Every structure is written in C-alpha cells, then in structure tokens.
Amino acid sequence: MLVVLFLLIPLPKFDDPRSTVVYASNEELLGARIAADGQWRFAPEEKIPENYARALILYEDKYFRFHPGINPVSLGRAFIQNLKAGRIVSGGSTLSMQLARMSRKNPTRNFSGKFLEILMALKLECCYTKDKILALYADVAPFGGNVVGITAASWRYFNRPPERLSWAEAATLAVLPNAPALIHPGRNAALLKQKRNALLARLFKKEYIDSLSYQLALAESLPRAPLPLPGLALHVVEKAHKQFPGQNIYTTIDYTLQEKSIHLLEQQSKELEQNEIHNLAALVCDVRKNSILAYAGNISAIAQLDVFVDIAQTPRSSDSILKPLL
C-alpha cells in the first residue's frame, strides 16, 4: 500500500509567477518588475552559494546530507510531543519535508498532512540530488513580506546577488524562512540579530569560518528595511516587462556606460531646464555589432514630470528632428 501511495504521489511543483528581471551585458542587475501575484520572486538559481548552504543546513537540518528525506530521530521526538499535546506542536521536519510543505502552500498542520509530506520528501530524495533540493528550497522559501527566494532576498535586503553574500548576510537569510512573519528586516530586529549571531557562533564552532571572519560577521549591521531594487534603465525594464513578463532578460547594455549616460543627462537637464527644455533622452549604439550600449528614455530635472514616458520611442516631427542640426 505504501509503495502504491509513493508511486501515485506527484513530485512537488512550483509554478508561481516570476518577476521580470533585466540584466546588463556583465549580468549586473539593471532593474526588475514584481511578479503577477505581487511577490518579488526571481528566476531560480541552479546552485546556491556555499556559505548560505552551510548556514542553512546547520540551522535547519544538520543531517541533511545523510538522511533519505526524513530524520527518524527527529520525527520520533516530534511524534511523542504531538501525542502528548493532542495536536501538532513540533514538526521534526527536514529541509526536504519543508520543501514538500511549501509546495502545498503551507496548509494547516495535522497528522495526515505530515504523513503526506513524509512521502513527498522521500520521493524528492529519490528523484533529485541533495544540491537540487537545496536549490529548490532556497528558490521558494519565504523571506518576509512579499520577498520569496534567496535571489530576491539578496537584492531586497543587501543589494547584491547571492554569490556575493557575506557570512553574516548568508546567516541572516538562513534564519529568516523559519519565521518570516515574526522576524525580517524592519521587524523584531533584536530577535533576528540574536538568531543570526547564534548561527554564526555555530558556524565558527564548526570551523566553517575563522576567528577574524566571525568577529567581523558579528559586527555587521542588519538591514532596517527592504531596499529598492536598482533602477538604472527604467524604460528598458518596462519594455522588457511588457514583452517578456516573468522572464530573465540579458541585454547588451554596458552597465558602466549606462551609469555615465544617466549621470551626464541629469547634469545637462539641470542646465537646459533654464531654457525650458525639460526632458532629455539618449541612445548609445555600437553600429558595428548592431547593439545598444546605453538607453535613457527620459530624464528630467523636474520631479513632477512624467519620466515614465519613453521619449526616445516617441515619434517626432521633421522640424524636431532637424533642430539639433540647424
């Protein structure tokens, strides 16, 4: 019977809508748009950073590399506690079981649900490698508010991709999914710092980090609130979102040249505003490669003007086209 149930249970699926994410030619983030369901959920990472993986396993499931999806000792202890309480008070869940539960949209905890999660976790372990399960967990874990997945969390809380996280930042993100509604940047900062530092101490004890790295990590401050995502190519991101919603878009835009173009236009806009010229745009192309290196659709020194209108794409009369040449 158990074998039949195991075979009939489908693998967990994660098909929630994704954010539209736009990158420069060097894969630096230019900007993003929120997913259709109002969540910041970036495309999944093929492999998560080693420091985050170690922190997560140590915090959530220290026997993850060795068990087949369930930890009999933890389950036995949880079963006794739940039996005494007459309800689910302890889960004893492994990372694989937590992943199974998240695929079910975190339903109310009960014994039948726990049994289903056990079967789903066992199936996950049969079909995927440990690294794949870790990557799936990191991709769908909640990190507080409307931030889902390690990539979105890395950008929203630390303004950098996951592979550039420090040990302190990795430890912070490792503890967040355990209680994202209770602790996240901007809420219960003292408790979040306590949990992060306790995990850092365990990482130090395990000799994953040396003494200097440990002391520096303890000294790092926590983010006070989610950070705004980069907005270096507003009109490019908007166009990509309309044409390719929910996808990762890799452009030919040169990140440094884009920054310089925006800065130059902002300077010129302040000067030209005195002559009643309120909007500027720039397009830098590599004609040999037929590629766009920088794109600024609308820059204005006047805040209340609608800079979301892409004047670089707006049709012009012949008089307007000839003005710069006359």
Express each pLDDT in 306-319 by its tens digit. Answer: 666 777 777 766 66
Length, in residues, of the chain: 326
To the query of whether residue 320 is one of the catalytic residues in this protein, the response is yes
pLDDT attached to residue 113 = 79
Q: Which of 24-28, 178-182, 231-235, 245-249 has the lowest mean pLDDT?
A: 178-182
Please give the share of the chain, as a percent, with pLDDT higher than 70: 86
Which residue shows structure tokens 């003494």? 211
Query: Could you count the other beta carbons within 10 Å of the beta carbon of residue 217?
Result: 23
pLDDT attached to residue 11 = 82
How do residues 91-112 score in pLDDT, each as one tens digit?
Answer: 678 999 999 999 988 776 777 7
Q: How far apart are the first and last CA of the chain?
A: 85
277 has a pLDDT exceeding 80: no
pLDDT attached to residue 174 = 96
78 has a pLDDT exceeding 70: no
Q: What is the mean pLDDT of residues 182-190?
A: 83
pLDDT attached to residue 170 = 98
Contact 151, 42 (CB under 8 A): yes
How do residues 215-274 score in pLDDT, each as one tens digit?
Answer: 999 999 998 889 999 989 999 999 999 999 999 999 999 999 999 999 998 888 877 877
pLDDT attached to residue 22 = 97
User: Would you state the structure tokens that stand for residue 229, as one six-digit string?
Assistant: 């995502």
Residue with the larger pLDDT of the pair 251 and 324: 251
Strand-pairing partners, residue 31, are 22
pLDDT attached to residue 281 = 86
Average pLDDT, the chain: 87
Q: Which of 45, 60, 117, 169 is catalytic?
A: 60
pLDDT attached to residue 305 = 55
Q: Which of 27, 50, 271, 320 is catalytic?
A: 320
Q: How far apart are CA 279 and CA 120, in angstroms?
A: 57
Strands 29-33 and 20-23: antiparallel
How do residues 278-313 score in pLDDT, each as one tens digit?
Answer: 788 889 999 999 999 999 988 765 555 566 677 777
CB environment 197-206: b (16+ within 10 A), e (fewer)? bebbeebbee
User: Would you state the structure tokens that stand for residue 188, as one six-digit string?
Assistant: 């219960």
Domains of the chain: 2-219 (1.10.3810.10), 252-325 (no CATH)
What residues contact residue 223 under an 8 Å CB cut-off, 6+ apart? 157, 158, 185, 186
Contact 134, 149 (CB under 8 A): no
pLDDT attached to residue 302 = 55
Q: How far apart are CA 292 and CA 310, in angstroms?
A: 16
Helices (H), 86-210: 95-103, 111-127, 130-140, 150-158, 167-175, 189-205
How do residues 122-159 score in pLDDT, each as one tens digit?
Answer: 999 999 999 999 999 999 999 998 999 999 999 999 99
